[in-house]
Structure 1
Amino acid sequence: MPRVLITAGASGIGRAMAEAFDAAGYEVWVTDVDTDALQSCPGNWRCRVVDAADETQIATLFDGIAGAGGLDVLCANAGVKGPTAPIEEVTLDDWRACTAVTLDGAFLVAKYAAPLMKAAGQGVILFTSSTAGIYGYPNRSPYAAAKWAVIGLMKTVAMELGPFGIRSNAILPGAVEGPRMERVLEAEAKAKGMTRDQVYNGYAAGVSMKTWVEARDIADMAVFLASDGARRVSGQVIAVDGHTVNPDPQV
């Protein structure tokens, strides 16, 4: 049975990924810092409380994964939204808190997954970036910077590990329905002096398909990219967003 690890996999996009890989026949490992969300996961998943930015915790996790037989797919999905404010109001502590999870966390799991996958002569590493990682994101500078950096990390990982039979790609979600984006909408509405519905409709207006996406859309892409059907797909930046044409519409 192939094995997959999804960081921040107990809710939102990560949870949808875990469910999709479970349905596809994978043994699922999930990490999160939300203990309540982890407790709601199915009993057949291997769930661990792990801080994505803590190297000691990541190293211990991978010791367990190695002892259990290794890893076939890594979904480096952990990230936090960071502050919503003009750059002059962003504190260095808030900047570092966002990039620690969103960028450092992606680096750490890739670092520890690489030796296991090299030894196996195969593997797939999927990074969750964002459309903010190719367009920028007004009032969200730490988040946008981290998501841009994740793409650079992915490209480099694809180059380094490709000779060992390991593929790497970045999935870029657009506006994804769910509690996390509701918090983003609330913060953006306050920062822009708009209503929640105006910001919500603005996101939809900014894409060609005039709609939001669902977490399962991201999960379906992850399962495909991990499959043999994508065996020659590596180093790619793949948006699942309905085609963003205006990343900051004012509606």
Structure 2
Amino acid sequence: MNRFDNQTVLVTGGTGGQGSSHVRAFHAEGANVVIGDIDAQRGAALADELGPRAHFTRLDVTDENSWSAAVLVAERVFGALNVLVNNAGVQNPPAPIEKTDQATWSRILDINLTGTFLGIKVAAPALRRAAGGAIVNIASTMGLGGTAHYAPYVASKWAVRGLTRTAALELGRDHIRVNTIHPGVISTSFIHEPAAGTTAAIGDFYSPEPFAIPRLGEPIDVTRLLLFLTSSEASFITGSEYVIDGGLLLGPVLQPETA
């Protein structure tokens, strides 16, 4: 028996590098998957590829009505909603705070923070109707420390931590667990392609060579942790934060001089 047989999982940002990895893995483990994304072409193509246990719905995470429609789709098509993965997120063009315009600040927080808030708000009643479930918010190692030139993104991911803990307290008695994953530098277009409004990608300034595990993370590294946290194996875990960064936050490995 697969871990997610007869369960329905909604993944936001479901067509991206990490999102599509999560969608495929849940599907392979027996879940019905609802792919939430603003990219209708890629979302429909992924759903068609996976077959009848996959369904695409266009989801703008900044719009509460869009969220309500997506949750309704999950319940109408598959009968219930058991797991929500708040994966959708965007990066700001790198700039110091003094040169970051308010529109950029608002857009990043709207998607990364308000989108997560709305997901929890709208999905909670559906998870309660299903007699419980799990929510995982995908944050970032940037939500655990400061990073120059990325104030909007850093602020949004720090705030997701507090939101997660509050939701865990509010929903635990309803058998709804809420946890956070903080990925480090994961090899996706998010890292390798410039954010809108800039010509430089994060990957242009980053090398994993000094760190404990000297490679970029892969989406499947995050997905494996996500599958555990949303499964019955993690039934006593809520309000927790999981870092998956290959030792990035530990600092560089110091190589002693050799004679």
TM (norm. structure 1) is 0.89
Aligned AA (2:141):
T
Mapped contact 2:8–2:32 kept (Cα < 8 A): yes
**Secondary structure in 2 aligned to 1:125?**
strand
Which residue of structure 2 aligns with residue 107 of structure 1?
A: 117
Which residue of structure 1 aligns with residue 88 of structure 2?
A: 78
Mapped contact 1:32–1:51 kept (Cα < 8 A): yes
Aligned AA (1:219):
T
Separation in 2, partners of 1:55, 1:93: 20
Deviates most, 31-40 or 2-11: 31-40
Post-superposition CA distance 1:45-72 (Å, at most 9, x none): 2101211111111112222223342211
**Secondary structure in 2 aligned to 1:160?**
helix
Which residue of structure 2 aligns with residue 147 of structure 1?
A: 157
Which residue of structure 2 aligns with residue 214 of structure 1?
A: 218
Mapped contact 1:137–1:247 kept (Cα < 8 A): no
Write out aligned runs for 1:64-213 (5 A).
64-68=73-77, 69-184=79-194, 190=200, 196=204, 199-201=205-207, 204-205=208-209, 207-213=211-217
Q: Residue 246 and residue 96 in structure 1: after superposition, are their counterparts in 2 closer, same or farther (change >3 A)?
A: farther
Which residue of structure 2 aligns with residue 56 of structure 1?
A: 65
Q: Residue 141 and residue 206 in structure 1: after superposition, are their counterparts in 2 closer, same or farther (change >3 A)?
A: farther
The Cα of 1:172 is off from its aligned counterpart by 0.7
Out of 218, 235, 238, the position equivalent to 2:239 is 235
TM (norm. structure 2) is 0.87
Separation in 1, partners of 2:71, 2:177: 19
**Secondary structure in 2 aligned to 1:124?**
strand
5+ residue gaps in structure 2?
1-5, 253-259
Q: Residue 46 and residue 209 in structure 1: after superposition, are their counterparts in 2 closer, same or farther (change >3 A)?
A: same
| CA RMSD after TM alignment | 2.3
Deviates most, 53-62 or 154-163: 53-62
**Secondary structure in 1 aligned to 2:177?**
strand
Write out aligned runs for 1:20-39 (5 A).
20-39=25-44
5+ residue gaps in structure 1?
none
Mapped contact 2:10–2:84 kept (Cα < 8 A): yes
Separation in 2, partners of 1:106, 1:14: 15
Write out aligned runs for 1:3-42 (5 A).
3-42=8-47
The Cα of 1:158 is off from its aligned counterpart by 0.6
Displacement over 4 Å in runs of 4+: 184-192
Deviates most, 36-45 or 98-107: 36-45
Aligned AA (1:63):
L
The Cα of 1:186 is off from its aligned counterpart by 11
Which residue of structure 1 aligns with residue 249 of structure 2?
A: 245
Separation in 1, partners of 2:148, 2:128: 39
Identity of aligned residues (%): 31
**Secondary structure in 1 aligned to 2:191?**
helix
Number of residues of Structure 1 aligned to a counterpart in Structure 2: 242
Q: Residue 189 and residue 226 in structure 1: after superposition, are their counterparts in 2 closer, same or farther (change >3 A)?
A: same
Aligned AA (1:200):
Y
